Amino acid sequence: MQRVGLIAKPHAPGLPELLQRLLPWLAHHDIDVYLDLDTAAAAGTAHGYAREAIPALVECMLVLGGDGTLLSVARLLGEHDVPILGINMGSLGFLTEIPTTVLFPRLEKVLDGQYTIQERLRFQTCIYRRTGECLRQPVVLNDVVINKGALARIIDLETVVDGLVLTTYRADGLIVSTPTGSKAYSMAAGGPIMHPNLHALILTPICPYTLSHRPIVLPDSAHIRVTLQTSDEDVRVTLDGQVGVELGYGDVVDIQQAAKPMRLIRTLEKDEYFQILRTKLMWGEAIRLPRDAGC
């Protein structure tokens, strides 16, 4: 590993101080570092690169920040087969696994080859307008969400899987989630938590009008087409919670597995994935009630 891209969350607390330690450490190990412009400014150097140019120049990406920062970098990679190592600068993350307190020992492990590459399913999404226009969207790692605006009524979403009609959801919206995204909006809407190694995806309706509409798990090879059957409503499709496109009556959201997965560098011990789940989701913590609380 001789060429590394480094992208950080802008203005993250403690970022300049961390870069003052990290950049000399990487230079000492004969690693060339390609900083994006914002990270270069935080490091006090004018030598930075446009974000979109970095994936073609490097063998690995280091991401400093939280899971949201890593999601944006995953979209940036596109078809580049570059693994990502996530370094967490805030609260514990599912994707940015390495806290700064153990950063340098974990980096030593990576340089020594003591890591695994975990492949994460991504989606390729196209939006087909009624006019026939196709709006190709960036690959996403978490989810594709179709939902109404704050004042819109229930919307109708005709959903087809592999050319076969599944159902027409009458709901506030629909979440199509990867296993990675199962712990995000899908979970909040009642969807299952899926281990990231599973080859599957989840359809989770948001507040369905029909109570029998439940989340459904499908193979990762499933080809999903969702057609908006409601007119005169404020409806959007949102990718990874960060990119949004307005939808109109008759528009089709086409979702299928991307040609290449995202490659995530993992240095976790065997039980750390479940430890992160327990910590992040606060499993096992006692619920404290006031003494005079009723049952």
Print pLDDT tens along the chain (295 aa): 799 999 999 889 999 999 999 999 999 999 999 999 999 999 998 789 999 999 999 999 999 999 999 999 999 998 899 999 999 987 667 888 888 999 999 999 999 999 999 999 999 999 999 888 999 999 999 999 999 877 778 999 999 999 999 999 999 999 999 999 999 999 999 999 999 999 999 999 999 998 899 999 999 999 999 999 998 778 999 999 999 999 999 999 999 999 999 999 998 766 677 877 887 788 876 555 555 544 4
pLDDT value at position 103?
A: 93
10 Å Cβ neighbour count for 137? 19
Domains by residue range for the chain, with CATH: 3-120+261-281 (3.40.50.10330), 123-257 (2.60.200.30)
112 is catalytic: no
Among the listed residues 36, 67, 172, 251, the single catalytic one is: 67
pLDDT value at position 233?
A: 77
Residue with tokens 């390609």: 34
The answer for residues whose C-beta is within 8 angstroms of residue 158's C-beta and 6 or more apart is 165, 168, 226, 227, 229
